[in-house]
Structure 1
């Protein structure tokens, strides 16, 4: 039986930050090891999400990737917490 696919939409900032987080987590599998012991099947969706993000984000190949990632993180924190001061980004709103 074929399963119906599920579509998740991310903003570019969300995708960039999640892609970096997944890369870091997968690179250090010891971080996820305890969680994955209970259900190794979770690697399948993790690989799917990670691969999709890598194919979609040209930013990960740009020389200023670190700056792009930092700016995306700051924007997401401001979006979630309302202001630079409340977000903990340490920057002043312009």
Structure 2
């Protein structure tokens, strides 16, 4: 088996938003098991989460919420060209 490490590059905004999402799924909602049924996948998820937690100083700053929202807005703008798309669409529209 090959244990060579893989490097994944994320922008700081991507890492911050992903870190928050992972925290919500893993610790706040306790929903990891519902989202990821294959427990073998948990190993890389925990590795990514741990790396983000030890790398990002933003997660310890008192203005966490506003920083997170600003990062989300920048990422949405990059994806949608400045027009914020809804993350959940209604069945009617």
Q: Considering fraction of residues, name the structure with more helix.
A: 1
Unmatched 5+ stretches in structure 1 = 90-94
Greater mean deviation of Cα atoms: 45-54 or 2-11: 2-11
Count matched residues. Answer: 85
Q: TM-score, normalised by structure 1?
A: 0.82
1:34, distance to aligned residue in structure 2 (A): 3.1
The answer to whether 1:44 aligns with 2:81 is: no
Computed over aligned residues only, the root mean square deviation of the Cα atoms, in angstroms, reads: 1.6
Runs of 4+ in structure 1 off by over 6 angstroms are none
1:8, distance to aligned residue in structure 2 (A): 0.2
Which of 1 and 2 has higher RCO (CA within 8 Å, sep 6+)? 2
Unmatched 5+ stretches in structure 2 = 87-93
**SS of the residue 2:3 aligns to:** coil
1:19, distance to aligned residue in structure 2 (A): 0.1
Q: TM-score, normalised by structure 2?
A: 0.83
The answer to whether 1:7 aligns with 2:10 is: no
